[in-house]
Amino acid sequence: MIHRKSPPEIALMREGGAAVAKVLRRMEEVVKPGITTARIEEEADRMARSLGIAPAFKGYNGYPAAICVSVNEEVVHGIPSSERVLAEGDIVGLDFGALYKGFYSDAAVTLPVGNPSREARRLLEVTRKALYRGIESALVGHRVGDVAFAIQSFVEENGFSVVKVFVGHGIGRSLHEEPQVPNFGEPQWGVRLKEGMTLAIEPMVNAGGDGVKVLDDGWTAVTEDGSLSAHFEHTIAVTENGPLILTMDETPRMESGN
C-alpha cells in the first residue's frame, strides 16, 4: 500500500530532511585524507543528537551504525570502522537517514577525499546528475519507470552502469515503503506517481559492470569487478507544482576555495 502524505506531513518531512542534509553537508568538512571512517560515524551521531533527529539505520535489520560509509569499490552499506583510514584520492559514499516527529528521511552523497582521478570525479558528477534527472522526472502522472529510465539512460550514455540489486523506495512513517523505485527500467512502466507520494530516489553507479556482491560482514556491498562505485540520494515529495526535494539544507553554503 502506498501512503500519500498531506502538506503538513510533508512539511514535517522537510524539517527532518533539512537536518539530514545538514549532517551530510558537515561531512564535506570532516572528510579528508588520514581520518578513519569511525570519525565520520562519531560526527554523524553527535550532529544528529544536537539537531534533535534520531539516526534511522542503527539497529535496522541489525545494521550496527548511524551512517553507512562506503569507500571506492564499496557500493553501499559499508560499516564505519576505526581501522579504515581514508586515503588521498579515495571516494567515499555517505548514506544517512533519520526519524523526526514520526517521519523518516534518507539521503546520500559521495565525496572526494583530496583529489581523486579525473575518471573518479566524472563518476561522482554523472551519478549526482543522474539523481537530478530522476528527480526531474518525478512528476504527477509520470510512472516509476519514467524516473528509472531517466536515471539509467543518462548513466549509460556516459559509459557507466547502474546497480540493479538495490533500489530506491517510498518513505514516510517507515524507512522503506511502497513503491520500489529502481534505477533501471522502461518509460511508462509501473506505479503512477500521484500528489503526496514521498520517495527516496538513490542511483548507485558503477564505473565498470553492474555486478555487486556482499562481503562476509553481511553488509558491505562491493562491485564484483573491483571498479569504483558512487551513490547519491534525496528524499522528495511529488507535488502538483513538481518534485520537492525534502533533504535540502536551507543554510546558505559558505563560499570556499574548492
What, of ligand MF3, Co ion, none, does residue 68 touch, CB below 5 to 8 Å by kind? ligand MF3
**Local structure of 184: helix, strand or coil:** coil
Give 108's strand partners. 95, 233
Which residues from 77-116 bind Co ion, rule CB under 5 A?
Answer: 106
User: Is residue 109 a contact partner of residue 219, using CB atoms and an 8 Å limit?
Assistant: no
- The reply on whether position 244 binds Co ion by CB under 5 A is no
Site stretch for Co ion (CB under 5 A), options 14-22, 75-83, 140-148, 192-200? 192-200
Minimal distance, residue 99 CB to ligand MF3, in Å: 12
User: Is residue 113 a contact partner of residue 31, using CB atoms and an 8 Å limit?
Assistant: yes
Looking at beta carbons only, is 97 or 116 nearer to Co ion? 97
Question: CB nearest ligand MF3: which residue?
Answer: 63
For the record, the C-alpha cell of 248 comes out as 535540502
Looking at beta carbons only, is 106 or 146 nearer to Co ion? 106
- The reply on whether position 200 binds Co ion by CB under 5 A is yes
Which residues form the interface with ligand MF3 (CB under 6 A)?
57, 60-61, 63, 68, 77, 95, 97, 106, 169, 200, 233
Minimal distance, residue 59 CB to ligand MF3, in Å: 9
The burial class, CB within 10 Å (0-12 / 13-18 / 19+), for 110 is buried
List C-alpha distances in Å: 197 to 21, 90, 152, 203, 238. Answer: 20, 36, 22, 19, 5
